[in-house]
């Protein structure tokens, strides 16, 4: 099964009404089955994107994030939500300047600058969400929920892990239950260089794809970068945390190891399912680093 290269007539009609005219349409979906994103262009107008969320939960998360927390990132720091349709699980978003950092070849100093800007934006986002009432309880239980999910991921991964790796992941996941209370935040949920835009002209960063945004512990927003971009680049880790305004606490460092172990097992499952070799390789490398005791 493949995705349609153009929106359905009903979806395109809704989008046209929302932006006031019928646009030209170009498919810019990621090369995976559940990605449905189109670029919408009008002559002399701001570029928009039409995105259909894979699930209702992701639609609700991204809509909430773009309405409530992402505006704190300022102009160009995140997409602006122009319209949303629960019927179609669709959003119309403004473009964020630049290109995904993963697609750029930059000098090390400019890469560090991009990560420093990215960390500063995450600090704003983390402080922007509503953490009162039930949301606070949800955030406080986020590590427990992550630990609860470890066995399910391990069962699906099966013999892709050795017996010692199974034990390592279980042990690290169990440690999440024993940590003291950690800083809470409204997190992006998928913060890494695929979703980090960088404008070389404006020297400005921006985050996109908020479909996994939620309340949680702040450290959970650094798992993807710790398991990918930062692996060989401690300078980028330092730059991001400098922009963020603080280093991770010792308890957050321990949490990061447990969360990375769970992330690795999860990636072993859905990397092959989505035919994404980069994700599978990331999982293998994280497990190797954790086994060798060099994950930091």
Give me the DSSP letters along 239-271: HHHHHHTSPPPHHHHHHHHHHHHHHHHHHHHHH
pTM assigned to the model: 0.94
pLDDT tens across 153-197, in order? 999 999 999 999 999 999 999 999 999 999 999 999 999 999 999
**Cα–Cα distance, 281 to 277 (Å, whole number):** 6
Average predicted confidence (pLDDT) for the chain? 94
Q: Give the CATH number of domain 9-94.
A: 3.30.200
Check if the beta carbon of residue 25 is closer than 8 Å to that of residue 7: yes
Q: Which helix (H) or strand (E) holds 222?
A: none
The pLDDT confidence band at residue 208, using thresholds 50, 70 and 90, is very high
**Cα–Cα distance, 243 to 225 (Å, whole number):** 14
Is the pLDDT confidence value at 52 over 90?
yes
Q: Where are the domains of the chain?
A: 9-94, 99-292
Quote the pLDDT of residue 1.
38
Which region among 28-37, 102-111, 202-211, 223-232 has the lowest average model confidence (pLDDT)?
28-37
Is the pLDDT confidence value at 235 over 60?
yes
pLDDT tens across 79-98, in order? 999 999 999 999 999 999 99
Quote the pLDDT of residue 271.
83
Quote the pLDDT of residue 3.
57
Architecture of domain 99-292: Alpha-Beta Complex (3.90)
**Cα–Cα distance, 96 to 211 (Å, whole number):** 16
Exposure letters 238-247 (e unless 16+ CB within 10 A, then b): bbbbebbeee
């Amino acid at each position: 099964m493949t995705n349609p290269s153009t929106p359905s007539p009903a979806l395109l009609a809704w989008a046209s009404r929302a932006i006031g005219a019928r646009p030209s349409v170009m498919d810019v979906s990621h090369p995976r089955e559940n990605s449905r994103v189109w670029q919408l262009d009008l002559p002399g107008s701001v570029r928009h994107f039409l995105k259909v969320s894979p699930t209702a939960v992701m639609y609700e998360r991204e809509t909430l994030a773009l309405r409530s927390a992402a505006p704190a990132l300022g102009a160009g720091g995140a997409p602006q939500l122009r319209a949303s349709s629960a019927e179609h699980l669709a959003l119309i978003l403004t473009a964020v300047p630049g290109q995904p950092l993963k697609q750029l070849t930059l000098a090390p100093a400019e890469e560090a600058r991009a990560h420093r800007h990215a960390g500063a934006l995450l600090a704003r986002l983390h402080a922007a969400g509503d953490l009162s009432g039930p949301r606070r309880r949800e955030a406080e239980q986020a590590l427990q929920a992550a630990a609860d999910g470890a066995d399910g991921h391990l069962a699906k991964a099966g013999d892709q892990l050795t017996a010692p790796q199974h034990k390592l992941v279980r042990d690290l996941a169990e440690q999440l239950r024993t940590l003291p209370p950690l800083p809470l935040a409204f997190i992006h949920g998928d913060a890494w260089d695929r979703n980090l835009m960088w404008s070389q002209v404006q020297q400005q960063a921006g985050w996109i794809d908020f479909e996994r945004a939620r309340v949680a512990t702040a450290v959970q927003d650094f798992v993807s970068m710790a398991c990918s971009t930062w692996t060989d680049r401690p300078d980028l880790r330092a730059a991001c945390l400098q922009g963020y305004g603080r280093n991770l606490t010792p308890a957050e460092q321990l949490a990061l190891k447990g969360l990375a172990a769970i992330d690795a097992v999860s990636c072993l499952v859905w990397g092959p399912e989505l035919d994404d070799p980069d994700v599978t390789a990331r999982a293998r490398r994280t497990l190797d680093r954790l086994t060798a005791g060099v994950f930091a």
